[in-house]
């Protein structure tokens, strides 16, 4: 692949992904710079290059040169922008992958309502097609191709974790159960780092009287294709889950406590596959809230520790599940307190959108976590933080260590299971 | 034909035509690019989200106010002042009534015009100073931002000079700058006056489908 052709491939993808929505964003941006004031990477470093709209510049240039309504006229009179070069694309690559978690906080402050996060996702399509992807993400993609998991989690490893959890909670967990109400998928990090979530599901669904299962061929929710920006890879990963769920004839697929996985299957999924699924996608938080409201998983004795909630961007800000986790926490915790700035505009952990899988971004990620640490420090005598996203949890564990904060990090499903009413 | 007749006559009609058709061409051009239909099962209304997105982004969020107050003050001051002057200055109402609408409406008293214009000038100056003094703004600004700002500033300034209507030259200068402003408008970032509703609306529609209340 020649240098020129790499730039051409990327630009062709930029243009292909510049639909009328992206075009409206490019045309409406007035360069007001407000987005910088919302970006955790700019706020934590003070470096203007982390201004969100600046990260889009190569894609905007390509649009203005080749696709904008007056581009032909401007080319004719020599006023069109110059071609995007490979050098520029390489210069921007860390901005596109290391310094954007696609958290969409910038959209909230933008007077034009520009969805920069969604446009970065489209821009990454160009980078992925041209083979300009950070090494960490590339390795994750290679693991997925071999094992279906970005961490290389095999079915043997999953079955071992299931066996441990069955023993711990005393409830059998059925794999490949035909016709189950729900099929659960998990992120690799949950399976290997927080396997107690399997036991929590078993306990909660037994109490609710719903049948559930885990597929032996499609148990992974993480979609590296979405993080890298490769639609073909994202579709392949999704296809495994869709095929397994439809073969098992389940009614629902449960998206786990993992940020981007929910958007990947719930909102982008049918569009990637070009059809609607034969099952419904439900987020675990959404499902638990529904079961709670239906009285199927009544709350018991509340946890008395002083707790707060981290709002994972892809679940709360971009996923629309703002009230559900709070409603569950109200029932499960007697001393729940919101962090300063919690909710729709809460800070990202700093490691979403593939940043945590990219070792090159480690320093930047830790700097961005400083803002989360400030939010946590705004709560006096805090003991525990509920983090309903496995990726955020790993970032929290590193970040709390870096900022010397002594807090316990727990998942929401585990908390709801632990505070379930006794029979 | 005198200079004033030229800038208020043929040049004005050419400028207004370029403005109308250029702006339409650009907005229609953006819409015509098209977009794949979203087939994910919705949780809410995209159409309602489109309108809510437009309304929501008119108002800044309190959580960002401490860091963005200067832009909020400058932005609101300039835009409110500009629209006040544009739509309620007596000479403008007379011009619009004579050339476009055929009817008029109440106008600002002279003192009201002066206050409104000062608010607009202060706002524009705040935005302009921020553009060249703030490191973020310096990095992201381009020639189009500066041309748009200067043209608007000069059009407003010449309008103030022409307010007394004591000098044909001053009125002609103001009209010439307005003609240039109208011709430039569809090709630069001044078009945000029309494209903002698409941008805010598209994001609002996406969030609306997800059943989110922004």
Tens of pLDDT along A248-259?
999 999 999 998
Note the pLDDT of residue A139: 86
Is A36 an 8 Å CB contact of chain B? yes
CB A355 within 8 A of CB A98: yes
Say if residue A151's pLDDT is above 90: no
Is B55 an 8 Å CB contact of chain A? no
CATH number given to A3-132: 1.10.1060
Encoding tokens for residue A96?
């596109």
Question: For A102, left (φ over 0), alpha (ψ -120 to 50), or beta?
Answer: left
CB B28 within 8 A of CB B197: no
- Give me Rg for the CA atoms of chain B: 20
Is A373 an 8 Å CB contact of chain B? no
B80 to chain A nearest CA, in Å? 15
Q: Do B30 and A24 touch (CB under 8 A)?
A: yes
pLDDT tens, position by position, A55-85: 999 999 999 999 999 999 999 999 999 999 9
Indicate the length of chain A as a whole number: 423
CB A109 within 8 A of CB A150: no
Residue A318: name the closest of B95, B15, B210, B72 by CA: B210
Reported ipTM? 0.95
Say if residue A368's pLDDT is above 60: yes
Note the pLDDT of residue A284: 97
Say if residue A147's pLDDT is above 80: no
CA distance linking residue A30 with residue B182, whole number of Å: 18
Place of tokens 């982390």: A50
The CATH number of A136-291, from 3.40.50.1860, 3.40.50.2300, 3.40.50.2000, 3.30.460.30, is 3.40.50.1860
Residue A325: name the closest of A309, A314, A340, A339 by CA: A309
Note the pLDDT of residue A245: 97
The CATH number of B3-209, from 1.10.3470.10, 1.10.3720.10, 1.10.10.10, 1.20.950.20, is 1.20.950.20
pLDDT tens, position by position, A175-199: 999 999 999 999 988 999 999 999 9
pTM for the predicted model, two decimal places: 0.94
Q: Do B53 and A37 touch (CB under 8 A)?
A: no
Note the pLDDT of residue A67: 97
- DSSP string covering B116-159, please? HHHHHHHHHHHHHHHHHHSHHHHHH--HHHHHHHHHHHHHHHHH
Model confidence band, residue A152 (pLDDT cutoffs 50, 70, 90): confident
- Phi, then psi, of B145 in degrees rounded to 5: -60, -40
Is A25 an 8 Å CB contact of chain B? yes
Note the pLDDT of residue A142: 83
Chain A contact set for B131 (CB, 8 A): 31
Note the pLDDT of residue A107: 96
Chain A contact set for B68 (CB, 8 A): 34, 37, 109
Residue A413: name the closest of A243, A208, A247, A126 by CA: A208
Is B199 an 8 Å CB contact of chain A? yes
Residue B130: name the closest of B117, B144, B147, B149 by CA: B149
Place of tokens 């706002």: B123
Mutation site, B22, B33, B211, interface A, largest A CB count within 10 A = B33
Report A:269-298 residues touching B (Cβ under 8 A): 269-271, 274-276, 280
Note the pLDDT of residue A76: 95
**Chain A / chain B CB contacts < 8 angstroms:** 160
Surface-to-core class of residue B88, CB atoms within 10 Å of its CB (0-12 exposed, 13-18 middle, 19+ buried): middle
Encoding tokens for residue B180?
């240039």
Mutation site, B25, B40, B56, interface A, largest A CB count within 10 A = B40
Identical fold for domains A3-132 and A136-291, yes or no, is: no
Q: Searching chain A, which residue's CA lies closest to the CA of residue B64?
A: A109
Domain boundaries, chain B: 3-209
Packing angle of the helix pair A116-129, A57-66 (nearest 10 deg) = 80
Note the pLDDT of residue B1: 86
Q: Which fold has domain A299-418?
A: Rossmann fold (3.40.50)
Mean pLDDT across B58-80: 93
Place of tokens 């109402």: B93
CB A127 within 8 A of CB A85: no
Note the pLDDT of residue B214: 65
pLDDT tens, position by position, A79-104: 999 999 999 999 999 999 999 999 99
pLDDT tens, position by position, B15-43: 999 999 999 999 999 999 999 999 999 99
Note the pLDDT of residue A375: 96
Domain boundaries, chain A: 3-132, 136-291, 299-418
What average pLDDT does the structure give for chain B? 95
CA distance linking residue B14 with residue A418, whole number of Å: 74
pLDDT tens, position by position, B89-121: 999 999 999 988 999 999 999 999 999 999 999
Say if residue A224's pLDDT is above 90: no
Say if residue A3's pLDDT is above 60: no
Say if residue A121's pLDDT is above 80: yes
CA distance linking residue A124 with residue B150, whole number of Å: 36
Say if residue A2's pLDDT is above 70: no
Note the pLDDT of residue A4: 59
Note the pLDDT of residue B145: 97
Mean pLDDT across A338-366: 94
Say if residue A373's pLDDT is above 90: yes
Q: Do B36 and A271 touch (CB under 8 A)?
A: yes
CB B194 within 8 A of CB B27: yes
Q: In what helix (H) or strand (E) does residue A281 lie, and over which residues does it extend?
A: strand A280-283
Mutation site, A24, A43, A118, interface B, largest B CB count within 10 A = A24
Note the pLDDT of residue A149: 80
Say if residue A138's pLDDT is above 90: no
Mean pLDDT across A206-230: 92
Residue B114: name the closest of B144, B89, B139 by CA: B89
Q: In what order do the strands lie in the sheet with A303-309?
A: A333-336, A303-309, A384-386, A408-410
Mean pLDDT across A36-64: 98
What's the number of CA atoms in the CB half-sphere (13 Å) around residue A230? 22
A171 to chain B nearest CA, in Å? 34
pLDDT tens, position by position, B121-161: 999 999 999 999 999 999 999 999 999 999 999 999 999 99
| CB-closest option in B38, B71, B201 to A34 | B71
Mean pLDDT across A368-392: 96
Q: Which long-range contacts (CB under 8 A, 24 or more apart) does A79-86 make?
A: A83/A7, A83/A11, A84/A7, A84/A10, A84/A11, A84/A14, A84/A58, A85/A7, A86/A3, A86/A4, A86/A6, A86/A7
Q: Do A27 and B195 touch (CB under 8 A)?
A: yes
Mean pLDDT across A328-351: 95
Note the pLDDT of residue A145: 78
Q: Do A267 and B40 touch (CB under 8 A)?
A: yes
CA B195 to chain centre: 10
Return the minimum-mean-pLDDT range out of A138-142, A293-297, A408-412, B64-68: A138-142
CA distance linking residue A326 with residue A322, whole number of Å: 7
């Amino acid at each position: 692949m020649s240098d020129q052709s790499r730039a051409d491939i990327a630009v062709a993808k930029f243009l292909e992904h510049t639909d009328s929505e992206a075009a409206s964003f490019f045309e409406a941006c007035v360069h007001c710079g407000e987005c910088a004031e919302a970006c955790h990477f700019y706020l934590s470093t003070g470096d203007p290059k982390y201004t969100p709209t600046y990260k889009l510049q190569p894609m905007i240039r390509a649009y203005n040169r080749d696709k904008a309504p007056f581009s032909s006229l401007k080319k004719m009179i020599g006023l069109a922008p110059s071609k995007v070069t490979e050098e520029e694309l390489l210069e921007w690559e860390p901005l596109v992958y290391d310094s954007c978690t696609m958290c969409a906080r910038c959209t909230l402050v933008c007077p034009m309502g520009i969805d920069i996060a969604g446009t970065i996702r489209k821009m990454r399509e160009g980078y992925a097609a041209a083979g300009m992807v950070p090494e960490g993400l590339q390795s994750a993609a290679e693991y997925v191709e071999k094992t279906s998991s970005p961490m290389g989690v095999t079915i043997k490893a999953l079955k071992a974790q299931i066996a441990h959890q069955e023993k711990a909670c005393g409830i059998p967990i059925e794999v490949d159960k035909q016709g189950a109400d729900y099929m659960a998928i998990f992120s690799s990090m949950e399976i290997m780092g927080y396997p107690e979530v399997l036991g929590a599901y078993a306990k909660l669904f037994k109490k609710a009287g719903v049948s559930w299962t885990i597929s032996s061929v499609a148990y992974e929710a993480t979609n590296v294709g979405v993080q890298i920006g490769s639609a073909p890879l994202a579709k392949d990963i999704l296809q495994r889950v869709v095929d397994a769920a439809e073969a098992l004839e389940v009614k629902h697929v449960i998206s786990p406590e993992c940020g981007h996985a929910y958007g990947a299957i719930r909102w982008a999924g049918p569009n990637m596959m070009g059809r609607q699924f034969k099952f419904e996608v439900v987020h675990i938080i959404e499902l638990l809230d529904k079961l709670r409201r239906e009285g199927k998983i009544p709350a018991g004795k509340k946890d008395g520790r002083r707790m707060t909630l981290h709002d994972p961007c892809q679940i709360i800000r971009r996923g629309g599940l703002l009230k559900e986790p709070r409603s569950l926490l109200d029932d499960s915790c007697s001393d729940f307190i919101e962090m300063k700035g919690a909710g729709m505009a809460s800070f990202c952990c700093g490691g979403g959108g593939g940043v945590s899988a990219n070792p090159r971004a480690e320093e930047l990620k830790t700097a961005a976590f400083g803002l989360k640490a400030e939010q946590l420090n705004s709560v006096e005598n805090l003991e525990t933080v509920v983090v309903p996203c496995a990726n955020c949890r790993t970032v929290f564990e590193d970040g709390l260590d870096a900022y010397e904060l002594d807090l316990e990090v727990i998942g929401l499903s585990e908390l709801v299971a632990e505070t379930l009413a006794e029979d | 034909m005198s200079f004033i007749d030229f800038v208020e006559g043929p040049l004005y009609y050419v400028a207004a035509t370029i403005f109308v058709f250029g702006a339409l061409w650009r907005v229609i051009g953006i819409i015509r690019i098209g977009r794949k239909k979203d087939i994910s099962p919705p949780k809410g209304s995209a159409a309602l989200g489109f309108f809510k997105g437009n309304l929501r982004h008119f108002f800044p969020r309190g959580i960002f106010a401490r860091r963005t107050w200067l832009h909020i003050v400058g932005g609101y001051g300039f835009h409110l002042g500009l629209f006040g002057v544009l739509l309620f200055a007596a000479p403008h109402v007379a011009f619009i009534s004579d050339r476009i609408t055929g009817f008029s409406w109440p106008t600002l008293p002279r003192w009201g015009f002066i206050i409104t214009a000062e608010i607009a000038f202060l706002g524009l100056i705040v935005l302009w100073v921020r553009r060249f003094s703030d490191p973020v703004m310096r990095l992201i600004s381009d020639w189009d931002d500066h041309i748009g700002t200067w043209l608007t500033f000069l059009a407003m300034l010449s309008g103030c000079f022409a307010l007394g209507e004591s000098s044909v030259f001053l009125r002609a200068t103001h009209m010439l700058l307005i003609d240039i402003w109208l011709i430039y408008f569809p090709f630069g970032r001044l078009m945000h006056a029309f494209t903002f509703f698409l941008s805010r609306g598209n994001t609002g529609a996406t969030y609306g489908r997800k059943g989110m209340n922004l």
